[in-house]
Structure 1
Amino acid sequence: MGDLTIRRAVAADVPAIVAMLADDPLGATRESPDDPAPYTAAYVVIDADPHQMLAVAERNGQVVGTLQLTFLSGLARRGATRAQIEAVRVASGERGSGLGATLMEWAVEQARDRGCGLVQLTSDTSRTDAHRFYERLGFKASHVGFKLDL
């Protein structure tokens, strides 16, 4: 299947990332790959922030996976830093290949390297397959999340 590299995303990766975000039932209703401006602006902010890491998995020169890590400092848990994993996506042709697990293992290792005491994520309640995937990786459904659209 070719060599896999996981690395920090660059601006040229944004269209491929957006395409993966839009390639599922939820993303299809909330993403607009035909309008790159908001994604490009968001990438600039993310890339400039030392507490953010937008990552891509690349195989044979093609972006085939992505996730975003945010490092959150806090007073709780004796001042522990948390790593928040968001927007985990794998290209449709790579699903079921183990790439998702590899991406998640990489993210957890990044969190360890940054001295984080906890890795957390949220997943839409409709993504039951994703919930089983995260539980297989050792994550526990320990909290109820709330969001407020603005």
Structure 2
Amino acid sequence: MQPYFRDAVQGDLPAIATIMRGAAPHDAAQQRATPEAYRRVLDQIDRHDGCYLLVGEYDNQIGAVLEMVVFPTLSGCGRTAEIVGVWSAESFRTSGLDGMLVDHAIERARDLGCARLQVMAGGGRRQEHSFWERAGFIHLDVGYVRTADQQRHLRRIS
């Protein structure tokens, strides 16, 4: 049996929710997300040009999920793809399905005219860094992230 990669559909949502909850057991927002919330977000992804939710299937089971956003950039005057995240079902974590799904996403990005792909990886997780390096990504020195509702602390110039 061969792995199969495709865009997610509504019928995949129960498996996707299980995978994402299993990958983030300490993420309270993920744990309390409702089936309706998943449906709403997948509808938004489907309607928004440049947003993709891909799944990797093996033996009629969804074993990996990848979210990717493609956007135009002035830097390089082209398109960039950002892999928002890739998640694997516990039973598929050492199967290589997640890496094959990343390869599929890279091909999709290339087909969409992207000149560059990027991904954010957690600072202290060496295993995650190794995964991305095996997929051909180059580690950069610094990245920053914040929540949209976080208060900014400005210093006044006197």
The two structures have a TM-score, normalised by structure 1, of 0.89
Structure 2 residue runs of 5 or longer lacking an equivalent are 150-158
Residue 113 of structure 1 and its aligned partner are, at CA, apart by: 0.7
Once the 2 structures are TM-superposed, how far is the Cα of residue 143 of structure 1 from its aligned partner? 4.6
| Number of corresponding residues | 146
Distance 1:136 1:101 in 2: 9
* Greater radius of gyration (CA): 2
Matches within 5 A, 1:1-150: 2-24=1-23, 27-30=24-27, 31-32=30-31, 35-77=34-76, 79-149=77-147, 150=149
Q: CA deviation at 1:130?
A: 1.1
Paired amino acid for 1:123: A
1:114 is displaced (CA, Å) by 0.8
C-alpha contact 2:55 2:64 (8 A) present in aligned 1: yes
Cα 1:38–1:126 change in 2 (3 A) is farther
**Separation of aligned partners in 2, 1:20 and 1:135:** 23
Question: Could you tell me how far apart the structure 2 residues matched to 1:144 and 1:20 are?
Answer: 29
Q: 1 CA distance for matches of 2:37 and 2:122?
A: 22
Question: In structure 2, do the counterparts of structure 1 residues 50 and 69 end up closer, same or farther at CA, with 3 Å as the change threshold?
Answer: same
Q: Identity across aligned pairs (percent)?
A: 29
1:35 Cα deviation after fit: 2.0
Q: Runs ≥4 in structure 1, deviation > 6 angstroms?
A: none
